Amino acid sequence: MPRLVKLPLIPTERQGVDILAVAAAEPPRNRLMLALAYDAALRREELARCAPTTWIQLVECYECGRRRRRTGSSE
C-alpha cells in the first residue's frame, strides 16, 4: 500500500508579500537570516548552528549572488 507523505506548505503570492512586508520592519540581522534561509534553502536549525566564520562566508556568498543577479554576470 502506498504511503502518503505530507508535502511542505508553499505560501501563496499574497502570503509571500505579507512575509516581506513584515521582514522590512525587522532589524538587519533578521532580514539577513530570512534572505539566507530563502536563497540558500537553509532550515532554522542550520542557520542557528552556523559558526561566526560561516556567517561571514554566507554573507559574502549572498552579496556575490546579489551582484551577479544585478549585473547579469555568470562569474
Distance between CA atoms of 75 and 39, rounded to whole angstroms?
18
**DSSP conformation letters of 1-45:** -PPP-PPPP---HHHHHHHHHHHHTS-HHHHHHHHHHHHTT--HH
Domain ranges of the chain: 13-71
Instruction: Specify whether the backbone of 27 is left (phi greater than 0), alpha (psi in -120 to 50) or beta.
Output: beta
Confidence at 25, pLDDT banded by 50, 70, 90: very high
- For the full predicted model, state whether its pTM sits above 0.75: no
Grid coordinates representing 3 are 504511503
Q: What is the mean pLDDT of residues 21-26?
A: 90
